[in-house]
Structure 1
Amino acid sequence: MDSQIERLANRAEQLLHKMRNDQRLLIAIAGIPGSGKTTLAEILAKRLNFNHAQHSSEITSPHYKKIAITLPMDGFHLTRAQLSAMPDPEMAHARRGAEFTFDGKGFYELVKELRRPITSESTATVWAPSFDHAVKDPVEMGIEVPREARVIIFEGNYLLLDQKPWSDAAKMMDLKFFVRVPFDVATERLVKRHLAAGLAATEEEAMKRVVENDLVNGKMIEDLLKEEEVDEFVDSGESKSEGVHT
């Protein structure tokens, strides 16, 4: 994984150096549920911030500002109230995490906002939604994107989906990475995650959720992926014990 992270970081840094100072580098990291997207995004951001700090005169400042931040797609979950208002609320809640349970248009608008020049007054600070796992709903203006953040790493299941509005947002990305993982590896990770998060009381219940929702979503993600538009595929690892994040 270290060599992959270094390679991805180098690609990002080389591209960033070619961009104007008022531009942000937008990176999309996608993959099926349980592939390791969150882990990869967080490690890549840390590596970019570390490399940047090594060459910055501000490194000794306690208020040193990071150049890279991660923006999970989780903040664009539809609320539980919105799911309950759907024609089949029971099905909507059971399938939470499927593409239709996300605010794709809202995500597209955020990417469009971050694509604007940083010098614009309207983009001095951009706010993105986060997700509160305690209340199981998104939080508006939960993540601050300051003007100093030149690298935005988005991560989520549907970022490279060949379906509007996700495909429109993907066109604005500078780099697109897809995390590959065998379905059996993802299955074991997801069962453990659902049990740890309290989403399932038993292993059987967790497996049912994985088979009837997560893997269905995973197949859609792989089926609607334009491989030729992916800049690099990242292997999540063969070990079933590796990674427990999305």
Structure 2
Amino acid sequence: MDEQVNRLVDKVWDQYKVAPASKRVLIAVSGIPGSGKTTLAAIVSKRLNEKHAQESPGTSNSNPLAAFIPMDGYHLSRAQLDAMPDPESAHARRGAAFTFDGQSFFSLVKRLREPICPETQTLYAPSFDHAIKDPVDNDIAIAASVRIVIFEGNYCALDKEPWRDAADLMDERWFVDVDFDVARERLIHRHVKAGIAANEEEAGKRADENDLVNGREIVDHRLDVHELIKSLNDACWVPEVQSVSDDKNPGTQREMAPLI
């Protein structure tokens, strides 16, 4: 995995180095639930900030070069789901595209695409508090000094409005591809561990009736991407790297170790 992550880090770093000082590099990482997109985006963001610190001694950790923005913060709140015509179904399908505030996500991307200038103010993205099971407004700061923003979420490459409009503003779109059976195993483990489901049977039902239904939409309506990263699985989760081909994807494509 390290080899592939380092390649992606170097690719983004090279884009940052040649970009005008007024321009941010925007990366969108998408995939179905359980694909490993969150882990990948977090690792790449961390490695970029480490690389920046190494090449710019004295750089403060409080002044990072790269910011990591999960789409979880754009979940509609439970109160908003309650106000929908069918609140029971809305809560049951939480995680589907219609249960996200896509317009607010698009608005942030548009603002980040504006040139950085001396008057540029810190922007804020929402986070998600799993304890209260709701988003927290203005919780992730994106200072004017942030030059690389890595978004991750199920719908960052969805060929539907407004996700398509946001995706069109990205410099790079990456998709973490995973076998649905592998994703299901990971989701069951995740739901039980997080207390979302009481047992594996309940977790499997949730995965089948919500997560993987959403996953089918994500795969069937995916935009072209620059990187197709194949997430594999085996007993030890050992990285396996192979070239892959996909007519929908013009960019370099690699396989990497599975990520949760």
Question: How high is the TM-score relative to the length of structure 2?
Answer: 0.89
- Contact conserved, 2:37 with 2:259, CA < 8 A, in 1? no
Q: Give the SS at the match of 1:213.
A: helix
- Contact conserved, 1:161 with 1:221, CA < 8 A, in 2? yes
The number of equivalent residue pairs is: 240
Q: Does 1:149 align with 2:135?
A: no
With over 3 angstroms needed to count, the CA separation of the structure-2 counterparts of 1:182 and 1:240, relative to structure 1, is farther
Q: What pairs up with 1:66-85 in 2 under 5 angstroms?
A: 66-85=64-83
Tell me which moved more, 163-172 or 11-20.
Answer: 11-20
Letter of the aligned partner of 1:2 in structure 2? D
CA deviation after TM superposition for structure 1 residue 117, in Å: 1.4
With over 3 angstroms needed to count, the CA separation of the structure-2 counterparts of 1:217 and 1:180, relative to structure 1, is same
Kindly indicate whether structure 1 or structure 2 has the higher relative contact order, using CA contacts under 8 Å at least 6 residues apart: 1
Alpha-carbon distance in 1 for matches of 2:130, 2:230: 28
Alpha-carbon distance in 1 for matches of 2:201, 2:42: 31
Q: What pairs up with 1:28-177 in 2 under 5 angstroms?
A: 28-59=28-59, 65-119=63-117, 121=119, 123-177=120-174
Letter of the aligned partner of 1:103 in structure 2? D
Alpha-carbon distance in 2 for matches of 1:128, 1:137: 14
- Which ranges in structure 2 are unaligned for 5 or more consecutive residues? 238-257
Alpha-carbon distance in 2 for matches of 1:152, 1:92: 30
Question: How high is the TM-score relative to the length of structure 1?
Answer: 0.93
CA deviation after TM superposition for structure 1 residue 43, in Å: 0.7
Tell me which moved more, 5-14 or 25-34.
Answer: 5-14
Alpha-carbon distance in 2 for matches of 1:48, 1:165: 29
Q: Give the SS at the match of 2:28.
A: strand
User: 1:238 matched to which residue of 2?
Assistant: 233
User: 1:25 matched to which residue of 2?
Assistant: 25
What is the percentage of aligned positions where both structures have the same residue? 55
- Contact conserved, 1:192 with 1:244, CA < 8 A, in 2? no
CA deviation after TM superposition for structure 1 residue 120, in Å: 5.6
With over 3 angstroms needed to count, the CA separation of the structure-2 counterparts of 1:244 and 1:93, relative to structure 1, is farther
